[in-house]
Chain A
């Protein structure tokens, strides 16, 4: 693997992003609007003295951590979507870049934007709603790691779909995270779900992480065993995501689907 080529991919997408006002908004403004919306809901609930089984901080914690999955998936997949928009896919495939180098560069850039957006969100949550996400303590690092890995795994499925169906798969690129959202038990415990949905939830690392997050926010010790399960599931999802994207790349080459990007 050539680090120079990885760096070239990183720079290529950085150049695009820093000159694009919509992209800057996407990185900074929308996470902030999301946070404002949910933050105001929690303030309203608190002011109404609504009797809730769960603290309202669960909502903000869920929002902040779910945003990691959502943004990682989007930002890691976006560079390839950008190549398709720019009719540049053939140039990438006909260059000496390997799939690993391209994905590494795209992933590093995607994670850079996730870090910027998420950092701003965390600061805003603390400044506006006195919600310090770092109150989650050391488990926060494990939560974030597990969620980033799952976001990358989802991005690989998106990439595979784009390689297979071309730009028309873009709608799936944006919507895939919402398909796993109900099963991830972000804002409610898994027990709320019907039995069949709980079975699906058990296979997602996110359901274990958000369960663990609520435990920690409720003041109990971190359920490390849930984090271990989440990381193990992450490994499976990530391997499946990479295998799917690789299979779709080989299918594109074998069946000549590249004409979809001309």
Chain B
């Protein structure tokens, strides 16, 4: 079964085509990174996959449920976290996790479990103002896993984390993926993150998929030594070898 089946996804804003006929199939249990320079169409693609933005053309199925008709049934099994989202004002970490558990009908025991998973159990009573940006990112990740999602979509998940914490997050995500068969779609500008976490990389440039394969395959495809070199090459308009 596919966790994501997107065919012919297209989205334009006025005169700009942000996403131009993307076809993306992600099997359940895959760890996929979506890379591309700023403006390549990553976030627009994610917003369409989450039914937040409607595509101009194309079809999306998440875990077999067609969007937007079966939006609720699909999104009950999907979660999302991003570096640009924040915690609500004045709510404690515990309350944020409890509300998420209620929205997704998750057992309350999951609150303690995910808090422990990301090491946020130490500041369950703190509010947004009492947390660093890295700690808030960890809370966002814990919140995203509270419903034991089958598909987790992350937009720049480790953007504000120290290297050691980012490393721990990657390990945690890999462990959850191995234990629960989670599907992960992640965007990142951190190539280190991607190489360590994902087995498949999808490169976007000007709204199109320009490469799709393992990090090694992608690098070879562009004649680069590393994913980072590939990123620079694609971002500056380089062609495949």
Contacts and interface: CB of A to CB of B under 8 A. Distances in A.
A258 B47 contact: yes
B135 interface: no
Contacts of B72: 96, 98
B103 interface: yes
B42 interface: no
B187 to A, nearest CB: 14
A48 interface: no
A94 interface: yes
Say what secondary structure dominates the interface of chain A.
Answer: helix
Contacts of A2: 105
Given A94-B51, A256-B47, A5 B102 contact: yes
Given A90-B52, A258-B53, A16 B89 contact: yes
Interface string B75-103: 11010101011111111100100110011
Contact of A8 (B52, B89, B92, B103): B103
Interface string A227-262: 000000000000000000000001001111011001
A40 interface: no
A253 B89 contact: no
A12 B53 contact: no
A82 interface: yes
Interface string A58-89: 00000000000000000000000011011110
Contact of B102 (A7, A88, A253): A7
Contact of A96 (B43, B76, B91, B99): B76
Interface in B30-54: 43-44, 47, 50-54
A250 to B, nearest CB: 8
Interface residues of A, number: 33
B102 A94 contact: no
A98 B95 CA distance: 21
A41 interface: no
Given A7-B102, A96-B75, A256-B11, A87 B84 contact: yes
A258 B11 CA distance: 14
A97 interface: yes
Q: What range describes how many residues of B lie at the interface?
A: 35 or more
Say what secondary structure dominates the interface of chain B.
Answer: mixed
A15 B75 CA distance: 25
B2 interface: no
Contacts of A98: 72
A254 to B, nearest CB: 5
Contacts of B84: 87, 262
A199 interface: no
A22 to B, nearest CB: 10
Given A5-B102, A96-B76, A96-B104, A85 B95 contact: no
Contacts of B18: 256
B158 to A, nearest CB: 18
Interface of A: 2, 4-5, 7-8, 11-12, 15-16, 19-20, 82-83, 85-88, 90-91, 93-98, 250, 253-256, 258-259, 262
The 4 closest A-B pairs by CB, nearest first: A8-B102, A94-B50, A86-B88, A96-B75
Interface of B: 11, 13, 18, 43-44, 47, 50-54, 71-73, 75-76, 78, 80, 82, 84-92, 95, 98-99, 102-105, 127
Given A90-B80, A96-B73, A258-B53, 17 more contacts: A5-B103, A7-B102, A8-B102, A20-B89, A82-B88, A86-B86, A86-B88, A87-B84, A88-B85, A90-B82, A94-B51, A94-B52, A95-B104, A96-B104, A250-B54, A254-B54, A256-B44
24 contacts: A8-B102, A8-B103, A11-B99, A12-B88, A15-B95, A16-B88, A16-B91, A19-B90, A20-B89, A82-B88, A83-B88, A87-B84, A87-B85, A90-B47, A90-B80, A90-B82, A93-B51, A94-B51, A96-B73, A97-B103, A253-B52, A256-B11, A256-B44, A262-B84
